[in-house]
């Protein structure tokens, strides 16, 4: 597909695993093998499944891209269409976004995820996700208390908007595919705002956007992580629906486990169940409100094959594009979705965001903690004045809020 507003011959190259001294190279060398190690530790796998995972880990360093097996799997034929251009190539010699997505799909193949009855399929990351959720739920009453306070401030429904947006942004730090093993999960996802670490801040512009709109008919939220981040997302959604700033919300989650902590439909339901069984009556009220919104059709939970395929938003299917076109705003959360949105390329950080997302069918608000070497729409002089550490793009300590208004998109010539 031709990229909107760009000549394909002058697009910057895609980020590759073979890029010297890069986060992509580090991921293939270290992060992905460690993820496999943790899967083996956490799950009671069959011997042949452990052997499959060990082979997969070794293959990353020296093996070649191969077609997926399991011809009866629900998406293997579709996946193999995307694998075909890279068959026989080393893992380090293909685009980073593709190879990460391919890795997670190969993990599921190794444990026969799709060959098992759906009710018995093993989420290889379940232990990690539940451990993080149990820690994060300790802070659920913080959200519930602010939701209760917001109910007393209906004369200014926007009063708490920035609080909830900040919470859902910074909770994006709680990414189990990124967390070092010696970091306590309890330190992540705590309610709060850290403006000094916000390198791009379009929150004021977003507040103006909401005030001018008065009420959104439809909001779409492309979820990222379960656990602490999903809790913050559900608090934001509850606030928006209760305050009547939004008529309906569509939450987009993954169809099956990927990127360790990415939220699936099962994760959302489990999180709601945890909130409903909380000892705090305020937290239970929050959960009951969410379930009421689901019953009323104001809150829709959605999943789509697209989210687990190695595709950029430029290549999203017509049904998803039409859904977003009907939306007043799409909130794009997290690092992988950012890579989908602007494409995982060596863009100059000064490249205007509007130039890279001019194709997108709706207004979009990006909430992202930086965890990869990709950024557009930034001011290089401002960043230079911040005295940032060498690994500022990947250490998970800095965030961005970027707003793109579809009617104001500027297409590069």
Confidence (pLDDT) at 167 = 95
What SS3 state is found at 144? helix
Task: Indicate if the pLDDT at residue 188 is higher than 50.
Answer: no
pTM over 0.85: yes
Task: Indicate if the pLDDT at residue 117 is higher than 80.
Answer: no
Structure tokens at 160: 């708490």
Q: Is 100 exposed, middle or buried (0-12, 13-18, 19+ CB in 10 A)?
A: buried
φ and ψ at residue 74, rounded to 5 degrees: -65, -25
What SS3 state is found at 236? helix
Residues 6+ apart with CB under 8 A from 9: none
What is the pLDDT confidence band of residue 159, given thresholds at 50, 70 and 90? confident
Task: Indicate if the pLDDT at residue 365 is higher than 60.
Answer: yes
- Other C-beta atoms closer than 10 Å to the C-beta of 33 total 18
List of domains in the chain: 8-115 (1.20.930.60), 135-408 (3.40.50.10880)
Percent above pLDDT 70 for the chain: 90
What is the pLDDT confidence band of residue 89, given thresholds at 50, 70 and 90? very high
d(CA 256, CA 109): 12
What is the pLDDT confidence band of residue 7, given thresholds at 50, 70 and 90? low
| Strand positions, DSSP E, 49-138 | none
8-state DSSP, 216: E
- Which among 298, 301, 314 is positioned nearest to 230, based on CA atoms? 301
What is the pLDDT confidence band of residue 256, given thresholds at 50, 70 and 90? very high
What is the pLDDT confidence band of residue 54, given thresholds at 50, 70 and 90? very high
- Which among 294, 271, 293 is positioned nearest to 283, based on CA atoms? 271
What is the pLDDT confidence band of residue 153, given thresholds at 50, 70 and 90? confident
Confidence (pLDDT) at 6 = 56
What SS3 state is found at 366? strand
Q: Is 405 exposed, middle or buried (0-12, 13-18, 19+ CB in 10 A)?
A: middle
- Which among 204, 233, 211 is positioned nearest to 156, based on CA atoms? 211
- Which among 43, 75, 39, 92 is positioned nearest to 261, based on CA atoms? 39
Task: Read off the pLDDT of each residue in 70-80 and give the average, rounded to a whole number.
Answer: 81
What is the pLDDT confidence band of residue 119, given thresholds at 50, 70 and 90? low
Average pLDDT, the chain: 90
Task: Indicate if the pLDDT at residue 183 is higher than 50.
Answer: no
Cβ 119 vs Cβ 349: under 8 Å: no
Continuous H helices in 225-280: 228-242, 265-276
């Amino acid at each position: 597909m031709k990229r909107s507003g760009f000549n394909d011959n002058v697009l910057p190259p895609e980020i590759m695993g073979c890029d010297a001294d890069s986060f992509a190279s580090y991921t293939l060398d270290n992060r992905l093998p460690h993820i496999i190690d943790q899967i083996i530790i956490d799950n009671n796998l069959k011997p042949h499944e452990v052997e499959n995972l060990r082979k997969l880990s070794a293959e990353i360093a020296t093996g070649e891209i191969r077609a997926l097996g399991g011809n009866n799997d629900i998406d293997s034929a579709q996946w193999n269409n995307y694998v075909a251009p890279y068959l026989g190539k080393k893992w380090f010699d293909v685009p980073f976004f593709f190879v990460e997505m391919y890795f997670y799909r190969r993990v599921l193949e190794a444990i026969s995820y799709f060959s098992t009855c759906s009710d018995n399929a093993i989420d290889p990351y379940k232990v990690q996700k539940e451990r993080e959720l149990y820690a994060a739920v300790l802070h659920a009453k913080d959200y519930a208390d602010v939701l209760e306070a917001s109910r007393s401030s209906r004369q200014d429904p926007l009063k708490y908007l920035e609080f909830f947006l900040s919470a859902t942004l910074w909770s994006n730090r709680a990414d189990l595919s990124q967390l070092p093993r010696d970091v306590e999960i309890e330190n992540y996802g705590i309610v709060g705002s850290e403006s000094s670490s916000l390198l791009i801040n379009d929150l004021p512009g977003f507040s103006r956007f909401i005030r001018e709109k008065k009420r959104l008919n439809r909001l779409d939220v492309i979820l990222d992580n379960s656990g602490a981040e999903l809790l913050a997302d559900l608090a934001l959604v509850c606030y928006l629906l209760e305050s009547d700033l939004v008529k309906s919300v569509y939450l987009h989650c993954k169809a099956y486990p990927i990127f360790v902590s990415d939220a699936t439909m099962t994760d959302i339901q489990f999180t709601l169940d945890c909130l409903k069984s909380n000892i705090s009556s305020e937290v239970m009220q929050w959960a009951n409100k969410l379930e009421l919104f689901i019953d009323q059709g104001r809150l829709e939970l959605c999943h789509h094959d697209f989210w687990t395929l190695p595709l950029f938003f430029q290549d999203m299917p017509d049904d998803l594009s039409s859904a977003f076109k009907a939306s007043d705003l799409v909130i794009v959360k997290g690092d992988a979705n950012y890579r989908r949105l602007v494409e995982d390329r060596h863009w100059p950080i000064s490249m205007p965001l509007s130039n890279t997302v001019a194709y997108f069918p709706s207004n979009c608000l990006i909430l992202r903690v930086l965890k990869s070497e990709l950024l557009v729409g930034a001011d290089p002089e401002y960043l230079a004045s911040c005295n940032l550490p060498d690994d500022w793009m990947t250490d998970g300590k800095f965030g961005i809020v970027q707003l793109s208004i579809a009617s104001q998109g500027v297409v590069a010539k």
